[in-house]
Structure 1
Amino acid sequence: MGAPVTLTQAPNGAIANQKLLDRIGDFSWLEPTIENPVEGVWVFGGYALAPMSIIEAEDGLIAFDTGDTKHDGQRMFEAIRTVSQKPIKVIIYGHSHPVAGAGVLAEGNPDVMVIGHPNLNEVVEQNMGAGGAPAFFPEVGPYLTARAVTQFNAYMPREGPDAYVVPTNLTAIDFAFLPVNRPVQDGEEMTILGIKMQFFTRYGSDDKVHTTVWLPDRKIVFTTLLWNAPPQLYTLRGDVFRDPREWIAGLRFTRDLNPEVLISSASKPVVGAQKVRDTLEQYLDGVSFVLDQSLRGILGGMGPDELRHFVQFPPYLDEAPPNLQSYGEISTYPPAIYYQTVGWYDNDAANLKPLAPADEARRLVPLMGGREKVLEAAQAALDKKEYAWAAKLANQLYLIDNQDQDARQLKANALRQMAYVSTGANDRAHLLSQALALEGKTTIARLIPPPLESIQANPAKFIDYFRVRIDPIKSDTTNQVICFEFPDGTKAGLHIRRAVAEFIPEPDRYQYKPDLTLAMTGETWAKLYLSLATPEDLIQSGAVTVTGDAAEAARLINLFDRYRPEKAVVIPPACLEHAH
């Protein structure tokens, strides 16, 4: 299924697509590297998930981005000190992700100027205080966080056949963020440490608070819009929609500056006016092709699954250096465009009322001759290198019985081979992580809850998020109002009205008085939210003071799903003994 692929071995022993290894060095670093593309500018790549850059001025340094974690900042600061001993006096944030190493680069200097988009502080604050990774519905942040952990190679070995190839790794999330203290407007000009700069904040890519920096005297542009792979219009970890039109407009704008040097926060630098223009147009045409052909396919009556096969780069775009699909793969983007444009329904009425996947599998497998015949067909497909078909067949048995060891192993084998032939780091991470989990070699978390400190800092927000965990079977005919009180005077409530829990932001102004009031600290609420303690134990210990019936208070809290790490997994662990 698809063109033949030549596999080879990466330096770390990973089995990978030869195409990836032949071309990955064009725009990505596989090892820590310092580049000096033009006088006075250094780029530090391969030290972290994203590179950072330094501009040397007469009496100090200007940093463009700082790393996605404090650890990233520490690594890059050590690298900076190998090329310059000057203090970092100015930090510029390209967007809201690589901001966590700023405190390291500042070395405790309170006078460091921090430049960025006017809304960047607000976005970072929201991200840091949220329930998890940024999400359209923040209540599901823990689910997206867990998917991000998979995407960034957390479950993959560093060496061996199943290792990652592209080091898109995130270390432990630790922050040394410094807020923007000098916001810039679109088109604003400034002279910083003797260097004339112009800032543009109109266009974004994977978030909405990007800043492009233009050095007109030297025709150097610092941008977040050129990545080391085609614009990632959809990320497998899940995210809010990334509008291709905004990315396209930003790329056109950058091209029309006519830069002679392009320094990116997501790829290797590009030097030479013609090379910069060619690179930007190849990249621009790639993302324009994906958008336009997706829309063409929709107009032609295609659904999301058809689009992923229809929208494929023609050879000239596929072979263009910046379009190597080394991060995401474009086959995953058209369905996201479809869902944003049309919604989930593919206009085939046979799909309007689908069976549940497990129910469908229980009906299909007998039609295919039963379990043994499906196993034989899946193995035959694997032998013919039809890996996606093999995975689909094995998955029918897995849906019926996720403890079927033969089905688990066949599915793992198929996913592994799909990973080996993939060029996208995200695809490889998800495929291999699940293959390893099916074999019992790792456990993939389905949810990663927010840290206790985040909940403690804003208990009312997480009382609101708690409402989606109500179990309607348990709540049944319940109709009660709970008020939560905290030592700083904060109050919030939940009205459990049978199958729904309505969040009450101001209980004192609500039309119904509370049936029960629970007084506790933010830390105690965090323990309840994270299921670190039962309501019964906290009430008995005095950590929760109840006004009203204490037993009823515990019952009401227990109407909501508890977080159980051993259950919140993507692939259930295999039982030691299991009969079909």
Structure 2
Amino acid sequence: MRHLLTALLAATLLTAHADDPAPAEARRGFIAKPSGQIKADDGRVVWDFADYAFVQGEAPATVNASLWRHAKLNNEIGLFKVTDGPAGGIWQVRGFDLANLTLVDGKTGWIVIDTLSSRETATAAMAFARQHLGNKPVSAIVFTHSHADHFGGALGVVSAEDAAARQLPVIAPAGFMEEATSENLLVGTAMGRRATWMYGNLLPRNATGSVDTGLGKALALGRLGILAPTQLVEGDRQELVVDGRRLVFHNVPGSEAPAEFVIELPEFKAFCGAELLSHNLHNLLTPRGAKVRDALKWAGYLDAAQGWAAGADVVFNSHQWPVWGEARIRHFIAAQADLYRFIHDQTVRGINAGLNAEEIAEQMRLPQALQDELDIRGYYGALKFNVRAVYQFYLGFFDGHPSHLDPLPPVEAAKRYVQLAGGPDKLVAAAQAAFDNGDHRWAAELLRHAVLADAGNAAARELLAQSFEQLAWRAESAPWRNFYLSGAQEARGKAAPKGLGLASLGDLLQHVPIERFIERSAASLDPAKAEGVKLKVNLVFSDLGETYALAVENSVLRYRKGAADPEANATLTLPKAVYLKLLSGQVSAREALTGGDVQFGGNPLALGRFFGLFQAAPGNFPIVTR
């Protein structure tokens, strides 16, 4: 009954918007549509253009009708003309990956704004554009922000060698490399595991599985790379002439990404909103995990964007489709500014009334005028999740209740709840009654304890999977749907594939400063193995001319760049590439030492012991079953 009611409410919402401009906007400027598959060098399919061909017609019972409408809009894929004029044109390639690749006419070639997430999809997107627009060179690359789906395909747009030889401008916001590498290296293992759930990578492409991500169809899992910026945009505003075109950059850090800018293109009467703007409520805290975003700053930047976009005929963004016309642009931006400000202000009001995050989230309701705006529905972010994000931004995870100062860990608490319920059979029976009554949230909560207490309880796992499915099928947020359905897969015993280790990031790692790898190593130190150990090792990178003195003491890895430590137990001289293979597990310490590029001095046992202190994180850890 609740599922039916949700579907009816969504259908009512869509019926009330018969004048919805989005379908025409999503198709405007269409030139050509791709077909077939994009494959990696080893033959693995990275992208299949037929995956979402089933997303058409009326919404099935297993998909929220509002999300289905949005999924159909994101199904408008191909090459599109955004605008054309005396200065030249702007085009977008959409539906080759999660994000868009934008081509701007420069005087000598294309200024490429954002490069998708993988080498394979970016290569295919550029080839498709050239097939229809001509074989123009790339004259500059612009990364709007520090998330991988906007820079990961850089080496598919231009090779590192070509970029260096031509001194290609690569423009990014201040802090770009630090944030890009921090997010994808330091906690990349855990974030990557959760990202596969959020983006539905493990789900079948059908009406009971993945239908969309909210931002786009899916996230391509190809070769992730990067190019180091040659020009950083500093300060609030900076104007640059890029291949003969004026680009006015406005930094908006702390909004959708820690390092991000938006762009005025006055000669084209266009404004690039990057990911500050999108056709959905965005995440203030993404379910895959990231730094919490500042809702108040985000709203303030959107207010300012009204002025930055003044005079523009079109606003295009890093995801989804553009909007055209002064009145439409003004309304599009203003509604989003009001949305984030409302969520911020009303969450803070609840905080000051003594409510915790769950209480505020449960009672939060948008005003009707904002509820009716299809451009800001929760297709990607979710209202309740964003309320919790604002709470965390100001007060952290602790809700002030003394019992939460030192709570039991989940598995231990689950065992006691099961015992309190009178045993697993009674707990599962109560969950079944809740499920039969349509109370799937409560059923899932009860079954969470049953499964954590005993991961081998097949009846509890199956009912938990069914509860997740019911929650998924009425979720308007695509990431929520994908998380629920991925959780159902795990509950039913589908083993998680091997995680994305450092070896899969080879194109990225070669451009990342050595300090980031040593930080990652420090966070991989096993304190039990390091208990009482004192070791000093020098790492000399022969190809970089850099030396790092490393020391393990108090189960902590310290490091400093500079001169070698004369008291080190061992010194290892090697190229960066060999060190990366050591870190990623592609070679052992013994194999590395026998290579011709590696020189060793000091105590070999000490070096072996040093490398033995570090433990690689599993990239396929369980989430539902622990």
Q: CA deviation at 1:338?
A: 1.7
CA displacement, residues 87-142 of structure 1 (integer Å, 9 cap, x when unaligned): 256546261342455565569697697473453xx624x467x3x734xxx63232
Matched position secondary structure for 2:63: strand
Task: State the match for 1:469 in structure 2.
Answer: 524
1:144 aligns with 2:210: no
CA distance in structure 2 between the partners assigned to 1:534 and 1:55 by the alignment? 46
Q: CA deviation at 1:150?
A: 3.1
1:47 aligns with 2:96: yes
Task: State the match for 2:339 in structure 1.
Answer: 286
Matched position secondary structure for 2:134: coil
Q: CA deviation at 1:73?
A: 2.6
Q: CA deviation at 1:521?
A: 5.5
Q: CA deviation at 1:244?
A: 2.0
Q: CA deviation at 1:439?
A: 1.8
Answer whether contact 1:17 1:422 (CA < 8 A) is retained: yes
Size of the aligned set, in residue pairs, is: 559
CA distance in structure 2 between the partners assigned to 1:359 and 1:372 by the alignment? 18
Q: CA deviation at 1:151?
A: 2.5
Which of 298, 307, 326 is residue 351 of structure 2 equivalent to?
Answer: 298
| CA separation of 1:541 and 1:44: change in aligned 2, threshold 3 A | closer
Matched position secondary structure for 1:492: strand
In the TM superposition, 1:475-494 aligns within 5 A as 475-487=530-542, 490-494=546-550
Matched position secondary structure for 2:6: coil
1:30 aligns with 2:98: no
CA distance in structure 2 between the partners assigned to 1:516 and 1:182 by the alignment? 39
Task: State the match for 2:273 in structure 1.
Answer: 223
| CA separation of 1:379 and 1:354: change in aligned 2, threshold 3 A | same
Which of 393, 413, 422 is residue 340 of structure 1 equivalent to?
Answer: 393
Answer whether contact 1:113 1:181 (CA < 8 A) is retained: no
Which of 187, 201, 206 is residue 154 of structure 1 equivalent to?
Answer: 201
Answer whether contact 1:445 1:569 (CA < 8 A) is retained: no
Amino acid paired to 2:526: D
Moved more, 371-380 or 63-72: 63-72
| CA separation of 1:178 and 1:498: change in aligned 2, threshold 3 A | closer
Answer whether contact 1:52 1:265 (CA < 8 A) is retained: yes
Answer whether contact 1:444 1:569 (CA < 8 A) is retained: no
Answer whether contact 1:145 1:448 (CA < 8 A) is retained: no
Moved more, 7-16 or 215-224: 7-16
Amino acid paired to 2:300: A
Task: State the match for 1:430 in structure 2.
Answer: 483
Matched position secondary structure for 1:469: coil
1:317 aligns with 2:367: no
Q: CA deviation at 1:393?
A: 0.9
1:569 aligns with 2:621: yes
Matched position secondary structure for 2:68: helix
CA displacement, residues 440-460 of structure 1 (integer Å, 9 cap, x when unaligned): 334155663354673897656
Q: CA deviation at 1:415?
A: 1.8
CA distance in structure 1 between the partners assigned to 2:166 and 2:594 by the alignment? 51
Answer whether contact 1:91 1:112 (CA < 8 A) is retained: no
Matched position secondary structure for 2:187: helix
CA distance in structure 1 between the partners assigned to 2:427 and 2:398 by the alignment? 29
Q: CA deviation at 1:186?
A: 5.5
**Unpaired stretches in structure 2, ≥5 consecutive residues:** 12-51
| CA separation of 1:484 and 1:47: change in aligned 2, threshold 3 A | closer
CA distance in structure 1 between the partners assigned to 2:155 and 2:585 by the alignment? 34
Q: CA deviation at 1:564?
A: 5.4
Moved more, 228-237 or 79-88: 79-88
Matched position secondary structure for 1:12: coil
| CA separation of 1:497 and 1:188: change in aligned 2, threshold 3 A | closer
Identity of aligned residues (%): 23
Amino acid paired to 2:393: Q
Task: State the match for 1:559 in structure 2.
Answer: 613
1:164 aligns with 2:164: no
| CA separation of 1:86 and 1:322: change in aligned 2, threshold 3 A | same
**Unpaired stretches in structure 1, ≥5 consecutive residues:** 575-580
Task: State the match for 2:324 in structure 1.
Answer: 271
Q: CA deviation at 1:357?
A: 1.6
1:497 aligns with 2:497: no
CA distance in structure 1 between the partners assigned to 2:268 and 2:603 by the alignment? 73
CA distance in structure 2 between the partners assigned to 1:472 and 1:111 by the alignment? 47
Q: CA deviation at 1:62?
A: 4.8
Which of 471, 474, 480 is residue 418 of structure 1 equivalent to?
Answer: 471
Moved more, 109-118 or 488-497: 109-118
Moved more, 181-190 or 144-153: 181-190
Matched position secondary structure for 1:5: helix
Answer whether contact 1:116 1:211 (CA < 8 A) is retained: no
Task: State the match for 1:401 in structure 2.
Answer: 454
| CA separation of 1:386 and 1:88: change in aligned 2, threshold 3 A | farther
| CA separation of 1:100 and 1:11: change in aligned 2, threshold 3 A | closer
Q: CA deviation at 1:309?
A: 1.8
Q: CA deviation at 1:320?
A: 0.2
Q: CA deviation at 1:274?
A: 1.5
In the TM superposition, 1:12-23 aligns within 5 A as 12=54, 15-23=62-70
CA distance in structure 1 between the partners assigned to 2:243 and 2:574 by the alignment? 52
Which of 95, 119, 126 is residue 144 of structure 2 equivalent to?
Answer: 95
Amino acid paired to 2:296: R
Amino acid paired to 1:242: R
| CA separation of 1:91 and 1:356: change in aligned 2, threshold 3 A | same
Amino acid paired to 1:364: Y
Answer whether contact 1:66 1:105 (CA < 8 A) is retained: yes
Task: State the match for 1:202 in structure 2.
Answer: 251
Which of 345, 348, 357 is residue 410 of structure 2 equivalent to?
Answer: 357
CA distance in structure 1 between the partners assigned to 2:90 and 2:579 by the alignment? 49
CA distance in structure 1 between the partners assigned to 2:141 and 2:512 by the alignment? 28
Answer whether contact 1:492 1:506 (CA < 8 A) is retained: yes
Q: CA deviation at 1:480?
A: 3.5
What TM-score results when the alignment is normalised by the length of structure 1?
0.82
Q: CA deviation at 1:154?
A: 1.9
| CA separation of 1:365 and 1:515: change in aligned 2, threshold 3 A | same
CA distance in structure 2 between the partners assigned to 1:220 and 1:546 by the alignment? 57
Task: State the match for 1:578 in structure 2.
Answer: none
Matched position secondary structure for 1:266: coil
Task: State the match for 1:529 in structure 2.
Answer: 583
CA distance in structure 1 between the partners assigned to 2:541 and 2:244 by the alignment? 52
Answer whether contact 2:418 2:450 (CA < 8 A) is retained: yes
Moved more, 94-103 or 314-323: 94-103
